[in-house]
Homo-oligomer: A and B are copies of this chain.
Amino acid sequence: MSLLAVGSIAFDNVKTPAGEVKDVLGGSGVYFSCAASFFGPVRLVGVVGEDFPDEHLEFLVSRGVDTAGITRCKGRTFRWCGSYEGAMNEATTLEVDLNVFGDFEPEIPPSYRDSLFLFLANGAPRTQLCVLDQLPQARFTVADTMNLWIENEREDLRKVIERVDLLFINEGEVRMLTGKSSLVEAGREAVAMGAKGVVVKKGEHGALLVMKEECFALPAFPVDRLVDPTGAGDSFAGGFMGYVSSAGDLEPETIKRGLAHATVAASFNVENFSLRRFSEIDRSDIDKRYQRYAAMLRLD
């Protein structure tokens, strides 16, 4: 079923203990849609500048991403420079140039308005609300967020949380949002703000889905060599939404398998810089690792 993502498209400079890359393709919308595209078509709404090469757009198309929603504007593409140290659990942002992304007011093309699954990548809550307004028929919506909006746009963020099915948020951020230390308690508190569920992303420690009644934890797939965690959270969301939108129902088992596929997608993404690992694999690699992951967790 039709999946739409609204997110950033970027050039990244990234330095990790495993190496360094410059001017590589990145952005939340890109990571999300590449991960989701293993499971079916995905529509991407975003903005690039005049400096964005056609080969990147061609790469997205080759992965099954519908790029008709990407606008090219006057100016330069969003740029992010960051580094990771030690266990690479957190990025240090060295530089952000919003460029054309700074004035991004996503307009959903009429041909996309029938999208039933919607992912709002991390962005200003006001922008996320504006997208929600344009897609009243969306059946299943997920929003990501970050510390900046929790600190500065809390009121609008609360409105987003009230309107989405799932909030994806990382460990430190859900603590910041709720003031609770225990992740289960923090998750419940965030659910009380109005979302149906909260998915707490814990990096190398996996993820936790907290709903009103239920709570569900998954470990990360243990990777032998972590190279670059950039985009892991968006790849996780992409694997999740890709799987769920292709599954045809929203049963608890589907949501659970979606989170497991999310884990597998993210585990591939962190094995190399930028989209390199994704560009080497296909659905059968995802499925094989999913089987290994399911076998690891089979206890009876």
Contact = CB atoms under 8 A, between A and B. Distances in A.
Given A216-B296, A299-B297, A88 B257 contact: no
A79 B217 CA distance: 35
Contact of A223 (B184, B206, B216, B220): B184
Contacts of A290: 299
B298 A182 contact: no
Contacts of A17: 181
Nearest to A186: B87
B226 A182 contact: yes
A222 B299 CA distance: 17
Contacts of A182: 87-88, 204, 226
A163 interface: no
Contact of A217 (B87, B206, B257): B206
A102 interface: no
Given A86-B181, A204-B182, A220 B222 contact: no
A87, A183, A294, A299 pick with most chain B CB within 10 angstroms: A299
A296 B217 contact: yes
Nearest to A207: B219
A252 B3 CA distance: 41
A210 B290 CA distance: 19
Nearest to A259: B299
A48 interface: no
A120 to B, nearest CB: 26
A206 B204 contact: no
A218 interface: yes
A226 B185 CA distance: 9
The 8 A-B pairs of least Cβ separation, nearest first, read A217-B219, A205-B205, A294-B299, A87-B181, A297-B297, A86-B181, A215-B222, A294-B300
Given A215-B222, A218-B297, A290-B299, 8 more contacts: A87-B175, A88-B182, A183-B204, A185-B225, A205-B205, A293-B299, A298-B298, A298-B299
